[in-house]
Every structure is written in C-alpha cells, then in structure tokens.
Amino acid sequence: MSDRSATGGFDASGIDEEAWTELEKQLEATIPVYDRVNRIMTLGFDKGMRRHVRNHADKGMKILEVGCGPGSFAVDLVGMELTCLDPSAEMLKVCKKRLDESRSSRGESQATYIEAVAEDIPLPDNTFDRVFCLFSFRDFRDKKQGLSEMLRVLKPGGQLIICDAGKANWLHGIFGRIYMATFVQLVARWVTKDPNHPWKWLARTYTHYGTHGFYKSMMREVGYTDVKARLLFPGMSSRFKANKPE
Ligand SMILES: C[S@@+](CC[C@H](N)C(=O)[O-])C[C@H]1O[C@@H](n2cnc3c(N)ncnc32)[C@H](O)[C@@H]1O
C-alpha cells in the first residue's frame, strides 16, 4: 500500500479512507450549484465534452454510469437501459429525482440506482455494453481495483469510457493546476459566496491525479485492450477509452 502521509492521503493510485470520507462530504456540498459552476468554469465546453462521451453509446445498449453524482451526464442518455451507481445516498437521491422525471417524460423505463463504490460493484460479471465514468475516476479510493471491477461487469467486447479533468502529461498538469488554483477558485467563490467552498477539494484531487500514460498502463495491467487517451477540446478534460477483450 502507498504511503500517502506527506500528501494528506492522496496519490495518483488512490485516496486514503479519511481523506476520501471528507472528499465525499465536500462533493455533496457542491450539489446545489454543481452544474452552474461546471458550466462557468469550463466556459460552456462541458456540454460538448459530455456529448462527445455520450456518442460512444447507441440506443438499446445496457449502460452503467459509475459515480453518477447528481445525474448531469445520465439525464441525457436516451433510449438505453441505465444503471447509476454512486457511494453517496444524497447524490443518488438528486440523480433519481432528475432522471425519473426526464425518463418518464420520454416514455422510458426507470433507471436502476445502486449505492456502492466502484471498487466493489454489487453486480454480476459480463453485464454492460458500456461503462461510463465522468469526473469520478479522480475520486476513486483505489483506481486499479475500480478499473478491474468495471472490467468484470463489462460484457466481452464492451467498452469503458472515462472522462475527467485533463492531465495529458506533467507539463499540461502544471497549466491545469494554475487553472484550478485561480479561475476555478474564483468562479466557485463567486457562485457559492463561500471562501471555504468545496472546489478547494476538487483542486486537491486534480493535483494528485495521474497522467494519461500512468492510467493507460494501469488499464493494460488490469486487462483492458485498445487503450486510448486524448484531451478533449479545449484541453480541460481527458477522455480514456478501453475495451474488454472478446
Ligand atoms: C464530481 S461528481 C461526478 C458526477 C457526474 N458523473 C458528472 O458527470 O458530472 C463525482 C462523483 O463520484 C462519486 N465517487 C467518489 N468516489 C467514488 C468511488 N470510489 N466509486 C464510485 N463513485 C465515487 C462521488 O460520490 C460523486 O458523486
């Protein structure tokens, strides 16, 4: 196990329990203004990023979103059989309310909601065509274990798509840290009117987040094939995709 004492419990492979429990509290505190802050801090590019990720799935597919949060991505998955997983009961409550309304207005069956962590998914092997993970991989306690659980529940030939804050390499990470420490903090403070707003914790998880190369190797080690990573325009977020062998 890594010694993360010098960083308050964080490194690129995971997060210690105490730090993660506090992070979860901070994430829940973002709920009332989550979409608004995201929209402003990405200058509106969040919509396009989510659309890009969504286009990896087709109607009729069985989908799992891991770390669904308040449903910001899941709400626009149309014509798919959907399972939303998150360890936060509070997040799931908001997600369910939002999705139940939009799915029933489209005449679709309700989604399934599961309170659990990515590292221990209480679902059978070989179940999903796609597993999506947007802006939650950074928060996993044990990234390798989470990747291996997501592989287990994918059908052979299925695909994992992860989208998170962009960190192509260490140089790009320096620009990202400046952006997180300045513009993002100003926006969050202005919207929340709170100098101790929860985006301070999100900047912390970005600081300790790994690069494309780090997670691509981890995905291959776990057993994924065709592992790819790229920045999404204009470079604020990264998209990984990786397949489960047939
Ligand atoms: C920033 S929100 C992302 C919400 C949403 N997916 C989106 O597209 O905006 C991060 C979510 O990851 C969840 N999370 C944190 N640790 C997790 C873990 N170990 N396994 C699964 N989800 C986790 C949090 O509870 C939170 O709801």
> Does residue 180 lie in a domain region?
no
222 pLDDT more than 90: yes
C-alpha 138 – ligand 1 centre gap (Å): 8
177-204 mean pLDDT: 93
> Does residue 202 lie in a domain region?
no
> Does residue 32 lie in a domain region?
no
> Does residue 33 lie in a domain region?
no
C-beta of 162 in contact with ligand 1 (< 6 A): no
Mean pLDDT score of the chain, rounded to an integer?
Answer: 96
> Does residue 93 lie in a domain region?
yes
Mutate to test the pocket of ligand 1, among 86, 96, 199 (most ligand atoms within 8 A of CB): 86
Please give the pLDDT value at position 158. 98
How far is it, in rounded angstroms, from Cα 231 to Cα 119? 25
Per-residue pLDDT reduced to its tens digit, 33-89: 999 999 999 999 999 999 999 999 999 999 999 999 999 999 999 999 999 999 999
Per-residue pLDDT reduced to its tens digit, 129-159: 999 999 999 999 999 999 999 999 999 999 9
Atom of ligand 1 nearest to the CA of 163: 8
pLDDT band for 3, please (50, 70, 90 cuts).
confident
- Quote the pTM value: 0.97
SS3 annotation, 19-88: HHHHHHHHHHHCHHHHHHHHHHHCCCCHHHHHHHHHCCCCCCCEEEEECCCCCCCHHHCCCCEEEEEECC
180-188 mean pLDDT: 94
Please say whether the beta carbons of 208 and 202 come within 8 A.
no
> Does residue 193 lie in a domain region?
no
C-alpha 45 – ligand 1 centre gap (Å): 20
118 pLDDT more than 90: yes
pLDDT band for 28, please (50, 70, 90 cuts).
very high
User: Percent helix, strand and coil across the chain, each rounded to 5?
Assistant: 45, 20, 30
C-alpha 80 – ligand 1 centre gap (Å): 21
Per-residue pLDDT reduced to its tens digit, 206-218: 999 999 999 999 9
Please give the pLDDT value at position 24. 97
pLDDT band for 1, please (50, 70, 90 cuts).
low
161 pLDDT more than 80: yes
Domain that holds residue 100: 5-25+44-166+210-243
C-alpha 197 – ligand 1 centre gap (Å): 18
CATH number at residue 99: 3.40.50.150
> Does residue 177 lie in a domain region?
no
C-beta of 240 in contact with ligand 1 (< 6 A): no
Please give the pLDDT value at position 114. 98
Instruction: Give the total number of structural domains in the chain.
Output: 1
Atom of ligand 1 nearest to the CA of 133: 6
Please say whether the beta carbons of 116 and 122 come within 8 A.
yes
- Here the tokens at position 112 are 């399934």
> Does residue 143 lie in a domain region?
yes
